[in-house]
Amino acid sequence: MTHLPAAPPGSGFAEEDVARFQDFFYRRTGIQFGAAKRYFIDRRLMERIQATGAPDLRAYMMALRHDDPEGAELQHLINAMTVNETYFYREEYQLRALSHELMPALAARRPGQRLRIWSLPCSTGEEPYSIALHLIENWPGLEEVEVEITGSDIDTRVLAQARRGVYDARSVQNLPGPVLQRHFEPADDGRWRIGAGLREAVSFGTVNLSDPGSMRPHRGRYDVIFCRNLLIYFDDASRREAAEALYDSLRPGGFLCLGHSESMSRMSSLFTVRKCADAMVHQRPDR
C-alpha cells in the first residue's frame, strides 16, 4: 500500500485529490513533484482556486479539465507552479566551452551557414542573453558567422519578463563589471536594463518540452541546445522522452548542454559524450 504524504495543516485538500492533481500536472508538463514540495503545491493551488472562485480543489480540477478549451487557466496554473530560479553566467564553464570549442567547431564544419542556439528552458532570459554576451565578448568568429539565439519556456509570465530585459542586482552579480557596464544601462531601483541591441538579438517563444506538438516545429533546427536545470524536475520516463525530443531538435553533429547534475548517459544512448576543456557536452552523432 502506498502512503501519501500528510497534508500541511490548514490546506484541507484530500490526499486523493492532490494525487490526482499531481498526475494531471505531470502528464502535461513532465514535472514530478516530490513529497517535499507539498507545501509549495498546496499554497499555489489554493491561490488558483481563490483566483477562479472555485469552491474546492475537486471543482477546480473539473473546470480545468472540461471548461478550459483555450487553456487559459491551465497556463495560469503552469505559471504558478514552475520554479524559475536563474541568473547571468550560471554554470559559466559551459559558456566557455560554447565560445572556445563548440562554436569554432560548428563554424568550421558549416562554413557560411547560420548557426542556431536554443535555450530551453530560458526562464526570465538570463541564459540566452548570457549566451549572446559570452559570444560577443569571447568569440571573434561572430564577425563572420550569423548566429540566431532563441529562448523558450513553458511559463508565459517569465517570457514576458525576458522580453523586457530588466534585472535586479542579484541576477547580474556573476557578470564581470566591465561586461555589465558595456551591455547594460541602469534602470529604476538599482536594477539593470539590457542594451537594446542585445535584447533584439534574442527571440522568445512558448514551448513545452513534454508536448510533442509543441516541439515538432523545432525538429532538426538547432546546432546547440542548452537544456539546464529542468530535467531535475522530471522523472525517468519524462526525462527519456525529453532526451528524444532534444535529439530530434538538433541537427546532426549538434551539441546539447545539460545542467551539472543532469547526466544524460543513464537514460539515453542517443548521444555521444564529448569532453571539452571546461565541460562535458552531449553530441548528436552524424548519421
**Selected range binding ligand SAM among 4-12, 153-161, 181-189, 278-286, rule: CB under 6 A:** 153-161
**154 near ligand SAM (CB under 6 A):** yes
List the one residue out of 73, 55, 76 whose CA is nearest residue 12: 55
Q: Which is nearer to ligand SAM, 107 or 225 (CB)?
A: 225
CB 11 within 8 A of CB 5: no
Residue identified by cell 532534444 is 246
Q: Which is nearer to ligand SAM, 30 or 254 (CB)?
A: 30
**29 near ligand SAM (CB under 6 A):** yes
User: Any bridge partners for residue 234, and if so which?
Assistant: 31
Q: Is position 28 annotated as part of the catalytic site? A: no
Number of Cα atoms under 13 Å in the Cβ half of residue 259: 16
| Closest separation in Å from C-beta 99 to ligand SAM | 18
Q: Which is nearer to ligand SAM, 107 or 210 (CB)?
A: 210
| Closest separation in Å from C-beta 14 to ligand SAM | 26
**83 near ligand SAM (CB under 6 A):** yes
- Can you say how many angstroms the Cα of residue 158 is from the centroid of all Cα atoms in its chain? 10
Q: 64 phi and psi, to 5 degrees?
A: -65, -40
What lies within 8 Å, CB to CB, of 174 at 6+ separation is 87, 88, 89, 90, 92
- Rule CB under 6 A: choose which of 149, 158, 243, 250 binds ligand SAM: 158
| Closest separation in Å from C-beta 134 to ligand SAM | 14
In angstroms, what CA-CA distances link 223 with 30, 228, 254, 282? 24, 16, 4, 12
Instruction: Give CA torsion, residues 153, 154, 156, 158, to 10 deg.
Output: -50
- Rule CB under 6 A: choose which of 9, 36, 67, 85 binds ligand SAM: 85
| Closest separation in Å from C-beta 109 to ligand SAM | 26
Catalytic residue, chosen from 17, 20, 28, 44, is 44
**Selected range binding ligand SAM among 43-51, 154-162, 164-172, 268-276, rule: CB under 6 A:** 154-162
DSSP string, 125-138: THHHHHHHHHHHHH
**125 near ligand SAM (CB under 6 A):** no
**Selected range binding ligand SAM among 54-62, 85-93, 98-106, 173-181, rule: CB under 6 A:** 85-93
CB 281 within 8 A of CB 256: yes
**209 near ligand SAM (CB under 6 A):** yes
CB 242 within 8 A of CB 231: yes
Instruction: Give CA torsion, residues 131, 88, 121, 251, to 10 deg.
Output: 20
Q: Which is nearer to ligand SAM, 22 or 208 (CB)?
A: 208
- Rule CB under 6 A: choose which of 82, 99, 150, 171 binds ligand SAM: 82
In angstroms, what CA-CA distances link 98 with 95, 154, 167, 244? 5, 25, 24, 22
Q: Is position 44 annotated as part of the catalytic site? A: yes
- Whole-angstrom distance, CA of residue 32 vs CA of residue 22: 7
**133 near ligand SAM (CB under 6 A):** no
Hey, which residues are catalytic here?
44, 153
* Positions in the binding site for ligand SAM (CB under 6 A): 29-31, 82-86, 90, 121, 123, 127, 153-155, 158, 207-210, 228-230, 259
